[in-house]
Amino acid sequence: MEQDYSEYEVILADGGSTDSSVPWVRSEYPHVRIIQLAGNPGFASANNCIIDTTTSPLIAFLNNDASPDPEWLSRLASAASAHPEFGMFASRMLFAHNPAIINSAGISLDRAGIAWDRHVGSEEAGPTMEVFGPSAGAALYRRAMFDDIGHFDESFFAYLEDVDLAWRARLAGWKCLYVADANVIHEHSATGIEGSPFKNYHLGRNKVWSVIKNYPMPQALVYFPLIALYDLMSVFLALIRTRDFSVARGRLSAIWNWRTPWLHRRRAQSQRRISWAEFCTITEGFQSPLALYRRYDKLRKLLARR
Protein backbone atom coordinates (compact mmCIF):
# COMPACT_ATOMS: atom_id res chain seq x y z
CA MET A 1 0.00 0.00 0.00
CA GLU A 2 3.02 2.28 0.39
CA GLN A 3 4.22 1.92 -3.20
CA ASP A 4 4.77 5.23 -5.01
CA TYR A 5 3.61 3.62 -8.27
CA SER A 6 -0.08 4.33 -8.82
CA GLU A 7 -1.21 2.08 -11.68
CA TYR A 8 -1.38 -1.31 -10.03
CA GLU A 9 -3.84 -3.74 -8.50
CA VAL A 10 -3.13 -5.98 -5.52
CA ILE A 11 -4.27 -9.60 -5.72
CA LEU A 12 -3.85 -11.88 -2.72
CA ALA A 13 -3.78 -15.62 -3.36
CA ASP A 14 -4.68 -17.46 -0.15
CA GLY A 15 -3.66 -21.10 -0.10
CA GLY A 16 -6.23 -22.48 2.32
CA SER A 17 -5.10 -20.54 5.38
CA THR A 18 -6.81 -21.51 8.64
CA ASP A 19 -6.17 -18.33 10.60
CA SER A 20 -7.99 -14.99 10.30
CA SER A 21 -5.78 -13.51 7.58
CA VAL A 22 -8.47 -13.39 4.86
CA PRO A 23 -11.15 -11.69 7.02
CA TRP A 24 -8.49 -9.29 8.28
CA VAL A 25 -7.45 -8.27 4.76
CA ARG A 26 -11.09 -7.85 3.73
CA SER A 27 -11.64 -5.57 6.71
CA GLU A 28 -8.44 -3.53 6.55
CA TYR A 29 -7.87 -3.47 2.78
CA PRO A 30 -11.26 -3.88 1.07
CA HIS A 31 -9.86 -2.89 -2.34
CA VAL A 32 -7.51 -5.93 -2.42
CA ARG A 33 -8.81 -8.70 -4.66
CA ILE A 34 -8.62 -12.06 -2.88
CA ILE A 35 -8.39 -15.46 -4.56
CA GLN A 36 -9.32 -18.13 -2.02
CA LEU A 37 -7.94 -21.47 -3.15
CA ALA A 38 -9.28 -24.83 -2.03
CA GLY A 39 -6.60 -26.09 0.32
CA ASN A 40 -2.95 -25.35 -0.38
CA PRO A 41 -2.19 -26.11 -4.04
CA GLY A 42 1.38 -24.80 -3.74
CA PHE A 43 3.31 -21.68 -4.66
CA ALA A 44 3.39 -22.42 -8.39
CA SER A 45 -0.35 -23.08 -8.68
CA ALA A 46 -1.24 -19.99 -6.64
CA ASN A 47 0.92 -17.82 -8.89
CA ASN A 48 -0.71 -19.31 -11.97
CA CYS A 49 -4.16 -18.44 -10.61
CA ILE A 50 -3.00 -14.83 -10.32
CA ILE A 51 -1.65 -14.84 -13.88
CA ASP A 52 -4.98 -16.14 -15.18
CA THR A 53 -7.03 -13.72 -13.08
CA THR A 54 -5.53 -10.51 -14.44
CA THR A 55 -4.96 -9.15 -17.95
CA SER A 56 -2.11 -6.86 -16.98
CA PRO A 57 0.91 -6.90 -19.33
CA LEU A 58 3.21 -6.87 -16.28
CA ILE A 59 2.80 -9.10 -13.22
CA ALA A 60 4.84 -8.67 -10.03
CA PHE A 61 5.05 -11.47 -7.47
CA LEU A 62 5.80 -10.82 -3.82
CA ASN A 63 6.10 -13.49 -1.13
CA ASN A 64 4.26 -13.19 2.17
CA ASP A 65 7.67 -13.03 3.90
CA ALA A 66 8.91 -10.09 1.78
CA SER A 67 8.51 -6.34 2.33
CA PRO A 68 9.31 -3.97 -0.57
CA ASP A 69 10.65 -0.44 -0.43
CA PRO A 70 8.07 2.18 -1.55
CA GLU A 71 9.96 2.60 -4.86
CA TRP A 72 10.19 -1.14 -5.57
CA LEU A 73 7.36 -1.47 -8.08
CA SER A 74 8.03 1.79 -9.90
CA ARG A 75 11.69 0.86 -10.43
CA LEU A 76 10.80 -2.58 -11.78
CA ALA A 77 8.13 -1.07 -14.05
CA SER A 78 10.58 1.59 -15.29
CA ALA A 79 13.12 -1.12 -16.10
CA ALA A 80 10.46 -3.08 -18.01
CA SER A 81 9.56 0.04 -20.00
CA ALA A 82 13.19 0.80 -20.80
CA HIS A 83 14.06 -2.80 -21.74
CA PRO A 84 11.20 -4.30 -23.78
CA GLU A 85 13.45 -7.17 -24.89
CA PHE A 86 13.59 -8.51 -21.30
CA GLY A 87 10.83 -10.74 -19.94
CA MET A 88 11.97 -11.08 -16.30
CA PHE A 89 13.17 -8.53 -13.74
CA ALA A 90 14.94 -9.49 -10.51
CA SER A 91 14.95 -7.52 -7.26
CA ARG A 92 17.72 -6.76 -4.79
CA MET A 93 16.59 -8.87 -1.83
CA LEU A 94 18.14 -8.18 1.59
CA PHE A 95 18.08 -10.29 4.75
CA ALA A 96 15.53 -8.97 7.25
CA HIS A 97 17.78 -9.77 10.21
CA ASN A 98 20.68 -7.91 8.56
CA PRO A 99 19.57 -5.55 5.73
CA ALA A 100 23.20 -4.75 4.92
CA ILE A 101 23.63 -8.28 3.51
CA ILE A 102 22.35 -9.52 0.14
CA ASN A 103 19.88 -12.42 0.17
CA SER A 104 19.44 -12.53 -3.61
CA ALA A 105 20.41 -10.46 -6.62
CA GLY A 106 18.79 -12.77 -9.12
CA ILE A 107 19.51 -16.43 -9.80
CA SER A 108 22.64 -18.02 -11.25
CA LEU A 109 22.79 -21.49 -12.82
CA ASP A 110 25.88 -23.57 -13.48
CA ARG A 111 26.58 -26.34 -15.98
CA ALA A 112 25.79 -28.98 -13.32
CA GLY A 113 22.22 -27.70 -13.10
CA ILE A 114 22.83 -26.15 -9.66
CA ALA A 115 21.03 -22.85 -9.05
CA TRP A 116 21.76 -20.32 -6.33
CA ASP A 117 21.04 -16.73 -5.30
CA ARG A 118 23.62 -14.36 -6.75
CA HIS A 119 25.88 -12.59 -4.25
CA VAL A 120 24.16 -14.21 -1.25
CA GLY A 121 26.00 -13.14 1.90
CA SER A 122 27.73 -10.21 0.22
CA GLU A 123 27.38 -6.53 1.06
CA GLU A 124 27.11 -5.41 -2.56
CA ALA A 125 25.58 -7.00 -5.65
CA GLY A 126 26.84 -4.68 -8.35
CA PRO A 127 24.96 -2.60 -10.92
CA THR A 128 21.86 -3.35 -12.93
CA MET A 129 22.77 -6.10 -15.37
CA GLU A 130 21.57 -9.20 -17.17
CA VAL A 131 21.35 -12.34 -15.01
CA PHE A 132 20.06 -15.86 -15.54
CA GLY A 133 16.73 -15.35 -13.76
CA PRO A 134 14.90 -13.80 -10.81
CA SER A 135 13.81 -15.15 -7.47
CA ALA A 136 10.02 -15.29 -7.79
CA GLY A 137 9.73 -14.18 -4.17
CA ALA A 138 10.05 -10.61 -5.45
CA ALA A 139 10.09 -10.32 -9.23
CA LEU A 140 8.38 -8.79 -12.24
CA TYR A 141 7.41 -10.78 -15.36
CA ARG A 142 5.91 -9.94 -18.74
CA ARG A 143 2.63 -11.60 -19.58
CA ALA A 144 3.90 -12.02 -23.14
CA MET A 145 6.55 -14.38 -21.78
CA PHE A 146 3.97 -16.54 -20.00
CA ASP A 147 1.87 -16.57 -23.17
CA ASP A 148 4.94 -17.77 -25.07
CA ILE A 149 6.40 -20.46 -22.81
CA GLY A 150 3.66 -21.28 -20.31
CA HIS A 151 3.20 -20.66 -16.59
CA PHE A 152 4.94 -21.97 -13.48
CA ASP A 153 5.12 -25.78 -13.41
CA GLU A 154 2.53 -26.81 -10.82
CA SER A 155 4.03 -30.27 -10.39
CA PHE A 156 6.93 -28.59 -8.55
CA PHE A 157 4.47 -27.39 -5.85
CA ALA A 158 7.07 -25.17 -4.19
CA TYR A 159 10.80 -24.34 -4.51
CA LEU A 160 12.85 -24.09 -7.71
CA GLU A 161 9.71 -23.44 -9.78
CA ASP A 162 11.25 -20.02 -10.48
CA VAL A 163 14.48 -21.71 -11.63
CA ASP A 164 12.50 -23.99 -13.93
CA LEU A 165 10.58 -21.01 -15.35
CA ALA A 166 13.78 -18.99 -15.88
CA TRP A 167 15.47 -21.99 -17.52
CA ARG A 168 12.59 -22.44 -19.98
CA ALA A 169 12.47 -18.71 -20.64
CA ARG A 170 16.20 -18.46 -21.32
CA LEU A 171 16.11 -21.45 -23.67
CA ALA A 172 13.29 -19.67 -25.54
CA GLY A 173 15.35 -16.49 -25.84
CA TRP A 174 13.79 -14.37 -23.08
CA LYS A 175 16.23 -12.38 -20.92
CA CYS A 176 16.31 -11.35 -17.25
CA LEU A 177 17.47 -8.00 -15.86
CA TYR A 178 18.65 -7.54 -12.29
CA VAL A 179 17.37 -4.13 -11.12
CA ALA A 180 19.89 -2.95 -8.53
CA ASP A 181 17.70 -0.27 -6.90
CA ALA A 182 14.51 -2.38 -6.56
CA ASN A 183 14.95 -3.30 -2.90
CA VAL A 184 13.02 -5.86 -0.85
CA ILE A 185 13.52 -6.98 2.76
CA HIS A 186 13.13 -10.76 3.00
CA GLU A 187 12.54 -13.04 5.99
CA HIS A 188 14.37 -15.92 4.34
CA SER A 189 12.22 -19.09 4.41
CA ALA A 190 9.92 -17.69 7.07
CA THR A 191 7.09 -19.74 5.57
CA GLY A 192 8.76 -22.99 4.49
CA ILE A 193 11.42 -22.91 7.27
CA GLU A 194 15.06 -23.27 6.24
CA GLY A 195 16.31 -26.81 6.75
CA SER A 196 12.85 -28.28 7.34
CA PRO A 197 12.10 -31.77 5.95
CA PHE A 198 9.38 -30.20 3.78
CA LYS A 199 11.76 -27.74 2.13
CA ASN A 200 14.65 -30.21 1.83
CA TYR A 201 12.42 -32.81 0.17
CA HIS A 202 11.04 -30.40 -2.44
CA LEU A 203 14.45 -28.86 -3.14
CA GLY A 204 15.92 -32.32 -3.70
CA ARG A 205 13.12 -33.54 -5.93
CA ASN A 206 12.73 -30.35 -7.95
CA LYS A 207 16.48 -29.99 -8.55
CA VAL A 208 16.49 -33.34 -10.37
CA TRP A 209 13.26 -32.57 -12.20
CA SER A 210 14.54 -29.21 -13.47
CA VAL A 211 17.60 -30.93 -15.00
CA ILE A 212 15.56 -33.74 -16.60
CA LYS A 213 13.16 -31.23 -18.07
CA ASN A 214 15.45 -28.45 -19.24
CA TYR A 215 19.03 -29.59 -19.84
CA PRO A 216 19.74 -29.51 -23.60
CA MET A 217 20.66 -32.67 -25.48
CA PRO A 218 23.11 -34.16 -26.35
CA GLN A 219 25.12 -32.23 -23.76
CA ALA A 220 22.97 -33.68 -20.96
CA LEU A 221 24.30 -37.14 -21.80
CA VAL A 222 27.89 -35.90 -22.07
CA TYR A 223 27.83 -34.16 -18.70
CA PHE A 224 25.57 -36.64 -16.89
CA PRO A 225 28.43 -38.26 -14.89
CA LEU A 226 29.51 -34.87 -13.50
CA ILE A 227 25.93 -33.75 -12.85
CA ALA A 228 25.22 -36.98 -10.97
CA LEU A 229 28.51 -36.80 -9.04
CA TYR A 230 27.85 -33.24 -7.84
CA ASP A 231 24.33 -34.18 -6.77
CA LEU A 232 25.46 -37.27 -4.89
CA MET A 233 28.09 -35.22 -3.06
CA SER A 234 25.48 -32.67 -1.97
CA VAL A 235 23.20 -35.44 -0.66
CA PHE A 236 26.10 -37.10 1.16
CA LEU A 237 27.12 -33.83 2.87
CA ALA A 238 23.52 -33.07 3.84
CA LEU A 239 23.13 -36.51 5.42
CA ILE A 240 26.35 -36.12 7.39
CA ARG A 241 25.49 -32.63 8.61
CA THR A 242 21.79 -33.02 9.44
CA ARG A 243 21.05 -36.78 9.48
CA ASP A 244 17.82 -35.77 7.76
CA PHE A 245 16.85 -38.22 5.01
CA SER A 246 14.34 -35.82 3.42
CA VAL A 247 17.04 -34.65 0.98
CA ALA A 248 17.59 -38.24 -0.19
CA ARG A 249 13.85 -38.92 -0.24
CA GLY A 250 13.40 -35.97 -2.58
CA ARG A 251 15.97 -37.38 -5.02
CA LEU A 252 14.46 -40.86 -4.86
CA SER A 253 11.00 -39.42 -5.49
CA ALA A 254 12.33 -37.48 -8.48
CA ILE A 255 13.83 -40.63 -10.00
CA TRP A 256 10.78 -42.78 -9.26
CA ASN A 257 8.49 -40.16 -10.84
CA TRP A 258 10.82 -39.22 -13.71
CA ARG A 259 7.95 -39.32 -16.20
CA THR A 260 6.47 -36.16 -14.67
CA PRO A 261 9.22 -33.82 -15.92
CA TRP A 262 9.90 -35.96 -19.00
CA LEU A 263 6.37 -35.38 -20.28
CA HIS A 264 6.94 -31.63 -19.99
CA ARG A 265 10.39 -31.79 -21.55
CA ARG A 266 9.11 -32.04 -25.12
CA ARG A 267 7.39 -28.65 -24.90
CA ALA A 268 10.33 -26.99 -23.13
CA GLN A 269 12.82 -28.21 -25.71
CA SER A 270 10.53 -27.48 -28.67
CA GLN A 271 10.52 -23.83 -27.60
CA ARG A 272 14.31 -23.64 -27.51
CA ARG A 273 15.67 -20.82 -29.67
CA ILE A 274 19.27 -20.59 -28.49
CA SER A 275 22.30 -22.73 -29.26
CA TRP A 276 24.48 -24.58 -26.75
CA ALA A 277 27.14 -21.89 -27.20
CA GLU A 278 24.61 -19.21 -26.26
CA PHE A 279 23.43 -21.29 -23.31
CA CYS A 280 27.01 -21.42 -22.04
CA THR A 281 27.24 -17.61 -22.07
CA ILE A 282 24.27 -17.23 -19.70
CA THR A 283 25.29 -20.00 -17.26
CA GLU A 284 28.31 -20.53 -15.03
CA GLY A 285 30.88 -23.26 -15.60
CA PHE A 286 31.27 -26.24 -13.28
CA GLN A 287 32.17 -24.98 -9.81
CA SER A 288 34.71 -26.70 -7.60
CA PRO A 289 33.16 -28.81 -4.79
CA LEU A 290 34.95 -26.58 -2.26
CA ALA A 291 33.41 -23.44 -3.77
CA LEU A 292 29.95 -25.00 -3.59
CA TYR A 293 30.46 -26.01 0.03
CA ARG A 294 31.66 -22.54 1.00
CA ARG A 295 28.65 -20.89 -0.63
CA TYR A 296 26.13 -23.07 1.19
CA ASP A 297 28.08 -22.86 4.43
CA LYS A 298 28.03 -19.07 4.24
CA LEU A 299 24.23 -19.11 3.93
CA ARG A 300 23.89 -21.57 6.80
CA LYS A 301 26.00 -19.39 9.10
CA LEU A 302 24.13 -16.24 8.10
CA LEU A 303 20.79 -17.81 8.96
CA ALA A 304 22.13 -19.22 12.22
CA ARG A 305 22.73 -15.65 13.44
CA ARG A 306 19.06 -14.72 13.23
Does the structural domain 11-186 have CATH classification 3.90.550.60?
yes
Tell me the pLDDT tens digit for each residue of 226-262: 999 888 888 887 777 777 788 889 999 999 999 999 9
Nearest to 116 by CA among 104, 126, 100, 98: 104
Residue 291 or residue 158, greater confidence: 158
Tell me the pLDDT tens digit for each residue of 200-222: 899 999 999 999 999 999 999 99
User: How many Cβ atoms are within 10 Å of 170's Cβ, its own excluded?
Assistant: 25
Which residue ranges make up each domain of the chain? 11-186, 197-304
Q: Is the peptide bond before 84 cis (omega within 30 degrees of 0)?
A: no
Tell me the pLDDT tens digit for each residue of 10-33: 999 998 888 888 999 999 999 999
Average pLDDT of the segment spanning 174-184: 97
pLDDT bracket for residue 295 (50, 70, 90): confident
Tell me the pLDDT tens digit for each residue of 100-153: 999 999 999 999 999 999 999 898 889 999 999 999 999 999 999 999 999 999
